[in-house]
Structure 1
Amino acid sequence: MRKELVQARNSCRMTQEQVAQAIGISVRNYQNIEAGTTKPNVETAISIAELLNGNVRDLFQPQRQLREDDGEDDDITSRKHGVNVEAIPKLCRFMSEPHRVVTAALDLQDGSPDTPEGAELVGLIRNLAE
C-alpha cells in the first residue's frame, strides 16, 4: 500500500471515488494505484500529486523496508517504476511548464539521469527544446 498517497488523500478529505473522478480514471484503477498493485503513468501521477497537493516523488517512490531475518533492504515493489517515454512530448504540448513533466518522470525513475531511462528522457527533452 502506498501509505503516503492514502495520507495525502485523507488530509485533503477526499474519498477514492472523488480522486478518481477528479483526475478522470476509474475508481478501481485508483484503488489499485493506492494499493500499489498498479503503477500510474506519468500524466496520472502528476494529476494525482497536483490534486492532493503532494509531489510525485513523495507519493510514488518505491517503498523499502528492512527485513528482520537478515537486516537487508527489501524492495517491496520489486519492480522499477515504468515511464511511458512516448507520452512525454504529448504532455509537454499540453502543459505550460514541460520541465515539470521531466522532473516527475525522473522522480519516477528514482531521479537519475545516469540510467538508460533517464538518459532517454534527457535526450527527448533536448530534442523538444530545439
Structure 2
Amino acid sequence: MKFKGKIGLWWFVTIILAHVLLIFLMQFAKTMLGQGLLIAILLLLDVFMVSWTVNNYVKLNADHFTIHFGFSKNSVNYEDVIRISKSNSVIAGSALSFDRLLVETQDKQIIISLKENDLFIDKLIGQNNKVIVMER
C-alpha cells in the first residue's frame, strides 16, 4: 500500500519566495559570472524542491515500510517502531505539511506527513500491535 505525502500551502509559498528572491538578486549581479552563479543556485534548488514535492510517499511492504522523500529512501521495520504521535516540530524532516507524525524507533526519530495519517497509523498497528499511539 502506498501513502502519498501531504503538501501544505506553506511549501508552495516557500518555493515562490525562493524564486522571487533569487530573481531579485540577479538584478544586482554586476557580472555574467554572478548571474550565472545565481541561475545555477536556482536550478539546483529547483532540482531538490521538485524531487521533494513529486517523490514524497510512504510504501508499506511485508515486514517494513519505506519513506521516499526526494532522492532519499529510509526503511523502517514494523517491529522496530515503539511510538507514533502527532508532531508540531518546526523541523520538517520529510514532511511538507504541518500535519506531521513522529515515528520513533530505538535508534531514530522520523517525521512524516501523509494525506491519510490516521489510516497509516491503523495499518502500522495492524503490523505491530505494540506500537504506542500518543495522540490522534
Fold shared per TM-score above 0.5? no
Compare the two structures and name the one with the higher helix fraction: 1
Q: Greater relative contact order: 1 or 2 (C-alpha under 8 angstroms, separation 6 or more)? A: 2
> What TM-score do the two structures reach when normalised by structure 1?
0.26
> What TM-score do the two structures reach when normalised by structure 2?
0.25
Compare the two structures and name the one with the higher strand fraction: 2
